[in-house]
Amino acid sequence: MPRDFTPKVVTANALLEGDVVYLDDNGNWTRDLARAAVITDEADAQVRLLDASSRPAEAVGAYLADVKPGPNGPEPVHFREEFRRTGPSNHCHGKQADL
């Protein structure tokens, strides 16, 4: 029996900076997971993933990541996605440099 489709976002890495990016409702890349388009339909998810994958000059390594609803928008389900969202584990670099 197939599993139910769970909510997802399209994520990738920005080509030039390497930052984690997410596809928003308008088909643009955003670095803020809260602005990512949450996809609840499997066919729509595949179409959006194909679109994202066809734009290698903008972002690379596009894939679908599971999310769950949160108070400020979608939140990662898996540790890997939480780690990608918060940036390097070294506080002197990236998104955590100001902490």
| Secondary structure class of 95 (helix, strand, coil) | helix
- State the pLDDT at residue 55: 95
Q: 56 is written with which tokens?
A: 């290698």
**Whole-angstrom Cα distance, residue 83 to residue 85?**
5
CA distance 91 to 78: 21
CA 23 to chain CA centroid, nearest Å: 7
Residue range 52-72: average pLDDT?
Answer: 95
pTM, two decimals, is 0.83
Residue predicted with more confidence, 25 or 3: 25
